[in-house]
Amino acid sequence: MSVEDSAEVPVQDMEVEKANDELTREQKEKRAAELLAAGRRALKVSDYETATEALSEASETIVELYGSDHEITYEYYYYYGMATLELGKIQSQVFNAPNEKEDNGDAQNSAAAGTSTNEKGEGDGEDSEKEDGEESGDEEDDDTMKLAWEVLENARCIAMAKIEVLKAERSGVSVIEEWQLKLADVLVVLGDHSVSDGKYDQALEDLEQALEIQKNVLPSNSRKIAQTYILMADACTSGMKYDEAINYFEKTKETLKSRSEHLETELKEVGDQEKKLDMQDELKDLEEMIPLIDDKIADSKSSAEQMEKTKEAIKAQFDGFAALMSQLPQSSEQKEANDISNLVRRPAKRPVEAAETTPEEKKKTKAEEEEGTSEL
């Protein structure tokens, strides 16, 4: 890029910013709505990067107009958080899966070729660069997941605050239920986030709260209830609570079968061709989903049985070890005490001290000593 080109870039950016500043409030609202619609379309076709970019700009625009706590921002936060979460999942798969394959491949290739440690040392520079890239990827993944959580938390707080206001105002039941379902929706996505983040207990807490709302407001055969059951089952499976996972998968299956039967009944009475096609498409989806749930139930049962066998094997090993230890001579047994009194050293008796001399005897002795000295 030439100097002239590099000088033009900031100028162009400034012109775009200036054009945005010159938009009226109505134009900005229209722009935000268009970006929201575009982001939702991208979400529907799993184009999460495009969805994230569109919804990010839409959220910024609507927050600029109404503030971050206004109820209108809920929908923007909700879809923006959902898109960011899905993008974070993809980034995690991209950065983690190849590393596992490379690690396994390097180990196998080294063993097959007989590569020595010294030979590997020649590539230390490349390995360090690769590690730097992996760390950068992990940080990007963490940042994306953190952003998703923050955005979804904003949506949750807005929904909860709105419900409290509506209850205080004694608004109609339908309006309160509408916002309760919005709260349930964001709780489900937060539960999905916690499952992806390995926080299974937190996931179950959010999903149970969402399920309680859904059961009170939605029909028992709602697809949303089935979706919540599936996520709860996934959280239990990831947390190795297989018996609970089986229970939730079975409830998912019951809900989907009930939904399928309901659609089949309605399909016979529907006259609208477009609605009929939609119902037929949903029935087809349900027919494909139920066998997949059966597979998950079978997998969970197999995992539960394997875990039980592992527990029994560990218990058997522990019992065998305990039995072996009980047969060994105990080191704490006391042997009969021998009489060692003859080995005990007694203190020697002190000699009797001579009787104390009188002062006259002391003088006599001293005189005798002086006489003997003078003779010498």
| CB distance 290 to 253 below 8 Å | yes
Per-residue three-class SS string for 232-278:
HHHHHHHCCCHHHHHHHHHHHHHHHHHHHHHHHHHHCCCCCHHHHHH
Rg (CA), the chain: 41
Q: What is the pLDDT of residue 93?
A: 82
Fold equal for 16-96+142-218 and 221-320: no
* Residue 341 DSSP class: G
Q: What is the pLDDT of residue 257?
A: 96
Question: Does 176 score more than 90 pLDDT?
Answer: yes
User: Each residue of 186-197: pLDDT tens digit?
Assistant: 999 999 999 999
Q: What percent of the chain has pLDDT over 90?
A: 56
Which residues are CB-contacts of 9 (< 8 A; sequence separation ≥ 6)? none
Q: What is the pLDDT of residue 115?
A: 45
* Residue 2 DSSP class: -
Q: What is the pLDDT of residue 256?
A: 96
Q: What is the pLDDT of residue 3?
A: 40
User: Each residue of 245-302: pLDDT tens digit?
Assistant: 999 999 999 999 999 999 999 988 888 888 899 999 999 999 999 999 999 999 999 9
pLDDT mean across residues, the chain? 81
Q: What is the pLDDT of residue 312?
A: 78
Q: Which of 79-93, 103-117, 225-239 has the lowest mean pLDDT?
A: 103-117
Q: What is the pLDDT of residue 48?
A: 96
Which residues are CB-contacts of 209 (< 8 A; sequence separation ≥ 6)? 184, 187
- What distance in Å separates the CA atoms of residue 145 and residue 192, rounded to the nearest whole number? 11
Q: Which amino acid is at 374?
A: S
**The token pair that represents 237 in the structure block:** 């499976």
Helix, strand, coil % (nearest 5) of the chain?
80, 0, 20
- What distance in Å separates the CA atoms of residue 92 and residue 376, rounded to the nearest whole number? 114
In this structure, the number of other CB atoms found within 10 A of the CB of residue 167 comes to: 11
Burial class (CB in 10 A: 0-12, 13-18, 19+), 223: middle
**The token pair that represents 189 in the structure block:** 């996505």
Look at residues 233, 232, 284 and name the one whose alpha carbon lies nearest to residue 263: 284
Instruction: Find where tokens 């597979």 sit.
Output: 295
- What distance in Å separates the CA atoms of residue 298 and residue 302, rounded to the nearest whole number? 6
* pTM score above 0.75: no
- What distance in Å separates the CA atoms of residue 60 and residue 66, rounded to the nearest whole number? 10
| CB distance 241 to 204 below 8 Å | no
Which residues are CB-contacts of 120 (< 8 A; sequence separation ≥ 6)? 110
Q: Would you place residue 308 in the very low, low, confident or very high pLDDT band (cuts 50, 70, 90)?
A: confident
Cα 22 to its chain centre, rounded Å, is 44
Question: Does 347 score more than 90 pLDDT?
Answer: no
Listed by start position, the domains of the chain span 16-96+142-218, 221-320
Q: What is the pLDDT of residue 271?
A: 82
Choose which CATH entry (3.40.630.10, 3.40.640.10, 1.25.40.10, 1.10.10.10) describes domain 16-96+142-218. Answer: 1.25.40.10
Q: Per CATH, which fold does 221-320 belong to? A: Methane Monooxygenase Hydroxylase; Chain G, domain 1 (1.20.58)
DSSP letters for 271-299: --HHHHHHHHHHHHHHHHHHHHHHHHHHH
